[in-house]
């Protein structure tokens, strides 16, 4: 069933009631604190503001309801590193990192509302299919950034302050015009942008803004004739005509301006032209303030899509592809639900490195299978878990996933636990921390959640670890999870493959080439060895190399003239 079309923005709505051009929610809403944003804009308009003063309102914008808890996985999938290293984009020659706070929440808290997810996916589809729309998106974002930059410029003198406030209004008008004049033919949620821009243009406040800026730009037009002598010097300069912009609402005739000043002086009021202009400027700003609040929110919305397009381009530059996955939603019977399939899956975190990225294919017949992954150290198992976790998170958030093709099933939550690093204040040893990790999994998990565990039960001896491993596997099966678990308990994994003690167990192993080196592909089955000696040799931890290091240390000690007792 397709999502309902985005709700239109009514052109005749009053400024305070006009629907915000919301690109992250199916039902458009103003998701920033309007009062706080207005206060910040008022102070910034009056005298400037520190850089980032408005960005903090973008970061705190609310988002649609979600059942996902980022505390259960965000740190383990390196979400902040993904945003900073892989989702930055260029705007007018400057590298922009999207708001880690807002984008991080938008990605790690996928909407529970299916229509909202489909809204985002439709916008991405339309953007990828139209270079003109991508240009309009970049142009609109650049206009918004120029407006914010003008607001955050601090003036020094009173005269400079008046000019600065006019420049802010110029930038605001350019932002409204960029929305109104762009996105021709858009049928997705992008259509909200020109609808909003057109609605603003219909207001009296916008017309006052346009008239004031036109008056500032052109008070009068003067035609002159210049006579130049043989030596190149001006011999005569004569004004042929003077045409004043009398149709502008802010225009006053020369006599009218003189009379107004004389009347004010007679009444005891003394003010300059600059003070009068400042009053007009402030009045115009007050009239468009409600619509400017919506522009602040729109900054974060546009960054969501610019970040997605940046990921797409970065992947293409590396010879890889991203896609919008086929996404199955709850409702079908368990046996009728489609399985998981990802073709050309890669870890997007590697795009920020110089590493050569190898894509792989992962498929399971059922989406709620428990997949046990085995293979040698440095064979790509942990990177696979990160890629699978990120693909699920990004896909369910309505974002591109790091795969050429993908079929996923939505879930109520994600739990990811990679190998825990020791903490200075931890109260338990390695085994205790592993048991706490397992406990936290079952405390947080709901039926149908996705679970990703790296090196389960690696913190104790093999016999006890295998017993705990089997306990976890058997209990997880009752919750019908989408589970991916890596382990080096190869004998246990082989026995589980033979005996199949629980339903829907799937076994994948790292593929090895003819020389027993990992290909970073995954095939059915259980690995026979972890090839620890290969990893040791690669890292220089062989007996010969360690003996050589010991001998070097002893020789250095003897050269210092001190022999050990």
Higher-pLDDT residue of 73 and 267 is 73
In this prediction, residues 89-97 reach a mean pLDDT of 95
In this prediction, residues 246-257 reach a mean pLDDT of 54
Strand order of the β-sheet with 360-364 is: 326-328, 405-409, 340-345, 360-364
The C-alpha atoms of residue 366 and residue 335 are separated, in whole angstroms, by 8
Question: Count of CB atoms within 10 A of residue 515's CB?
Answer: 5
In this prediction, residues 306-321 reach a mean pLDDT of 98
List the beta bridge partners of residue 242. Answer: 222
Which of 3-17, 70-84, 385-399 has the weakest average pLDDT? 3-17
For 90-116, letters b (16+ CB in 10 Å) and e give ebeeeebebbbbbbbbbbbbbbebebb
Q: Quick one: tokens of 535?
A: 């990893």
In this prediction, residues 278-303 reach a mean pLDDT of 92
At 212 the pLDDT is 84
Domain ranges of the chain: 34-216+281-313, 219-272, 321-530
At 437 the pLDDT is 80
| 3-class state of residue 65 by DSSP | coil
The C-alpha atoms of residue 420 and residue 190 are separated, in whole angstroms, by 43
Q: What is the pLDDT of residues 150-167, one digit of tens each?
A: 998 776 555 567 788 889
At 556 the pLDDT is 84
The C-alpha atoms of residue 344 and residue 328 are separated, in whole angstroms, by 20
Model confidence at 69: pLDDT above 50: yes
Strands (E), 137-274: 220-228, 234-244
In this prediction, residues 46-50 reach a mean pLDDT of 82
In this prediction, residues 21-28 reach a mean pLDDT of 96
Which of 244-248, 407-411, 478-482 has the weakest average pLDDT? 244-248
> Could you give phi then psi for residue 235, rounded to 5 degrees?
-95, -30
Burial of residue 492 (CB within 10 Å: 0-12, 13-18, 19+) is buried
At 3 the pLDDT is 44
The pLDDT-based confidence of 546 (bands split at 50, 70, 90) is: confident
**Cα-based distances in Å from 436 to 74, 447, 462:** 18, 20, 18
List the beta bridge partners of residue 372. Answer: 485, 507
The C-alpha atoms of residue 437 and residue 420 are separated, in whole angstroms, by 9
pLDDT > 90: percent of the chain: 57
DSSP state of 148: H
Report which listed range, 147-156, 183-192, 463-472, is most confident: 183-192
At 181 the pLDDT is 97
At 6 the pLDDT is 44
If we measure between CA atoms, which residue out of 112, 126, 260, 268 comes closest to residue 189?
126
Q: Quick one: tokens of 494?
A: 């082989």
At 268 the pLDDT is 56
Using an 8 Å Cβ cutoff, are 13 and 199 in contact?
yes
Model confidence at 33: pLDDT above 60: yes
Model confidence at 9: pLDDT above 80: no
Give the pairing type, strands 94-96 and 89-91.
antiparallel
Model confidence at 5: pLDDT above 50: no
At 521 the pLDDT is 96
Stretch (H or E) spanning 564: none
- For the chain, the average pLDDT equals 84
> Could you give phi then psi for residue 452, rounded to 5 degrees?
-130, 115
- Long-range contacts: 32-37, Cβ < 8 Å, 24+? 32/57, 32/58, 32/60, 32/61, 32/62, 32/293, 32/296, 32/297, 33/57, 33/60, 34/290, 34/293, 37/293, 37/296
The pLDDT-based confidence of 219 (bands split at 50, 70, 90) is: very low
| 3-class state of residue 508 by DSSP | strand
If we measure between CA atoms, which residue out of 427, 441, 438 comes closest to residue 460?
438
Model confidence at 422: pLDDT above 60: no
- Using CA of residue 351, residue 355, residue 360, residue 364, what is the dihedral sign? negative
Using an 8 Å Cβ cutoff, are 401 and 323 in contact?
yes
In this prediction, residues 320-347 reach a mean pLDDT of 85
For 442-475, letters b (16+ CB in 10 Å) and e give eebbeebbbbbbbbbbbbbeeeebbebbbebbee
Higher-pLDDT residue of 306 and 217 is 306
Stretch (H or E) spanning 291: helix 273-317
Model confidence at 143: pLDDT above 90: yes
Which of 33-47, 151-165, 202-216, 439-453 has the weakest average pLDDT? 151-165
At 283 the pLDDT is 87
Question: Count of CB atoms within 10 A of residue 49's CB?
Answer: 18
Q: 438's torsion region: left (phi>0), alpha (psi -120 to 50) or beta?
A: alpha
Model confidence at 238: pLDDT above 60: no
Model confidence at 13: pLDDT above 50: no
Angle of CA points 81, 190, 299, to nearest 5°? 45
At 428 the pLDDT is 52
The pLDDT-based confidence of 563 (bands split at 50, 70, 90) is: low
Q: How far is CA 159 from the centre of its chain?
A: 40
Model confidence at 243: pLDDT above 90: no
Model confidence at 256: pLDDT above 90: no
For 282-293, letters b (16+ CB in 10 Å) and e give eebbebbbbbbb
The pLDDT-based confidence of 35 (bands split at 50, 70, 90) is: very high
At 189 the pLDDT is 97
At 19 the pLDDT is 78
| 3-class state of residue 385 by DSSP | helix
If we measure between CA atoms, which residue out of 455, 506, 521, 474 comes closest to residue 340?
506
Q: Which residue has 């004998």 as its token pair?
A: 491
Using an 8 Å Cβ cutoff, are 376 and 94 in contact?
no
In this prediction, residues 454-480 reach a mean pLDDT of 83
Using an 8 Å Cβ cutoff, are 37 and 293 in contact?
yes
Strands (E), 387-479: 405-409, 414-417, 450-453
In this prediction, residues 489-506 reach a mean pLDDT of 92
* Assigned superfamily of 321-530: P-loop containing nucleotide triphosphate hydrolases (3.40.50.300)
CB neighbour list of residue 95: distance below 8 Å, 6 or more residues apart = 88, 89
At 427 the pLDDT is 54
If we measure between CA atoms, which residue out of 511, 506, 461, 512 comes closest to residue 488?
461
In this prediction, residues 123-139 reach a mean pLDDT of 98
In this prediction, residues 277-304 reach a mean pLDDT of 91
Q: What is the pLDDT of residues 349-362, one digit of tens each?
A: 999 998 899 999 99
Q: How far is CA 369 from the centre of its chain?
A: 30
> Could you give phi then psi for residue 54, rounded to 5 degrees?
-85, -25
At 345 the pLDDT is 98
Q: Quick one: tokens of 186?
A: 């858009």
DSSP state of 222: E
């Amino acid at each position: 069933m397709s999502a309902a079309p985005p709700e239109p923005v009514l052109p005749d709505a009053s400024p305070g009631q006009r629907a915000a051009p919301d690109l992250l929610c199916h039902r458009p809403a103003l998701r920033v604190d309007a009062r706080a944003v207005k206060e910040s804009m008022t102070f910034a308009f009056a005298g400037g503001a520190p850089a980032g003063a408005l960005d903090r309102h973008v970061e705190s914008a609310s988002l649609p309801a979600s059942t996902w808890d980022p505390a259960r996985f965000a740190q383990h999938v390196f979400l902040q590193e993904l945003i900073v290293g892989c989702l930055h984009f260029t705007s007018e020659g400057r590298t922009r990192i999207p708001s880690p706070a807002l984008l991080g929440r938008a990605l790690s808290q996928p909407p529970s509302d299916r229509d909202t997810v489909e809204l985002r996916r439709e916008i991405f589809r339309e953007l990828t299919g139209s270079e003109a729309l991508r240009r309009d998106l970049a142009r609109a974002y650049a206009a918004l950034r120029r407006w914010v930059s003008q607001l955050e410029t601090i003036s020094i003198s009173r005269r400079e302050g008046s000019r600065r406030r006019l420049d802010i209004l110029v930038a605001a008008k350019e932002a409204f015009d960029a929305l109104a004049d762009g996105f021709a033919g858009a049928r997705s949620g992008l259509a909200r942008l020109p609808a909003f821009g057109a609605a603003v243009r219909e207001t009296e406040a916008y017309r006052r803004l346009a008239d004031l800026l036109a008056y500032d730009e052109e008070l009068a037009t003067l035609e002159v004739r210049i006579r130049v002598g043989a030596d190149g010097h001006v011999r005569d300069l004569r004004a042929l005509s003077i045409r004043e912009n009398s149709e502008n609402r802010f225009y006053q005739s020369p006599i009218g301006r003189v009379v107004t000043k004389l009347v004010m002086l007679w009444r005891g009021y003394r003010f300059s032209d600059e003070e009068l202009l400042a009053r007009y400027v402030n009045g115009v700003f007050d009239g468009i303030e409600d619509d400017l609040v919506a522009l602040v929110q729109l900054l974060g919305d546009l960054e969501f899509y610019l970040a997605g397009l940046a990921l797409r381009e970065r992947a293409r530059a590396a010879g890889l592809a991203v896609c919008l996955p086929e996404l199955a939603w709850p409702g079908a019977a368990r046996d009728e639900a489609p399985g998981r399939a990802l073709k050309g899956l890669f870890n997007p975190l590697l795009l920020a490195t110089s590493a050569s990225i190898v894509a792989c294919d992962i498929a399971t017949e059922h989406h709620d299978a428990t997949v046990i992954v085995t293979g040698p150290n440095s064979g790509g198992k942990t990177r696979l878990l990160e890629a699978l976790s990120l693909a699920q998170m990004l896909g369910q958030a309505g974002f591109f996933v790091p795969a050429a093709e993908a079929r996923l099933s939505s879930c109520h939550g994600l739990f990811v636990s990679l190998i825990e690093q020791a903490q200075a204040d931890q109260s338990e040893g390695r085994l205790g921390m592993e048991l706490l990790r397992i406990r936290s999994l079952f405390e947080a998990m709901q039926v149908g959640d996705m679970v990703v565990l790296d090196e389960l039960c690696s913190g104790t001896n093999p016999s006890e670890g295998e017993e705990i491993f089997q306990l976890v596997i058997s209990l997880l099966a009752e919750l019908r999870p989408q589970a991916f678990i890596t382990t080096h308990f190869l004998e246990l994994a082989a026995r589980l493959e033979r005996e199949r003690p629980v339903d829907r167990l799937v076994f994948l192993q790292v593929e090895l080439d003819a020389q027993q080196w990992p290909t970073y592909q995954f095939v059915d089955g259980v690995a026979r060895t972890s090839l620890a000696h290969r990893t040791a040799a690669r890292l220089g931890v062989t007996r010969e190399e360690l003996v050589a290091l010991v001998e070097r240390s002893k020789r250095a000690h003897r050269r210092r003239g001190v022999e050990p007792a």
